[in-house]
């Protein structure tokens, strides 16, 4: 399967966050998330495993009880149902990979 960036849509989620759904099937999904400085990814959890790769920018991430500053090249792993969230310190983009697919994102 090929997914061409120019054929995907960037959705404005509000409050300085936008999301682009990339490749996905029943077991895996890639999502690009863009943040303006000061934008917040509120604390939440879900039943999916999630890897986040920081493409650009700087963020303060909390996963469970740990909080760290991360920047381009850093990777984060979130177990299912573990609370996590972030604050964008410098404008940036994250690449999130989920398993299974986030059906809620496709609605």
| pLDDT confidence of residue 107 | 86
Q: How far is CA 12 from CA 44, 67, 70, 97, in A?
A: 19, 27, 23, 19
Q: pLDDT tens digit string along 95-107?
A: 999 999 999 999 8
What is the fold, at CATH topology level, of the domain defined by 37-101?
Jelly Rolls (2.60.120)
Round to whole Å and give the CA distance between 29 and 6. Answer: 18
Contact indicator for 86, 62 with CB cutoff of 8 Å: yes
pLDDT band (50, 70, 90) for residue 1? confident
Whole-structure pTM value: 0.94
Q: pLDDT tens digit string along 27-67?
A: 999 999 999 999 999 999 999 999 999 999 999 999 999 99
């Amino acid at each position: 399967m090929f997914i061409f960036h120019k054929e995907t849509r960037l959705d404005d989620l509000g409050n300085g966050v936008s999301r682009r759904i990339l490749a996905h099937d029943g077991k895996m999904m890639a999502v690009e998330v863009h943040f303006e400085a000061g934008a917040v990814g509120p604390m939440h959890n879900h039943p999916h495993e999630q890897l986040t790769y920081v493409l650009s920018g700087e963020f303060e991430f909390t996963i469970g009880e740990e909080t760290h500053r991360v920047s381009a090249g850093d990777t984060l792993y979130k177990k299912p149902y573990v609370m996590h969230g972030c604050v964008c310190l410098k404008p940036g983009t994250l690449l999130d990979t989920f398993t299974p697919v986030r059906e809620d994102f496709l609605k």
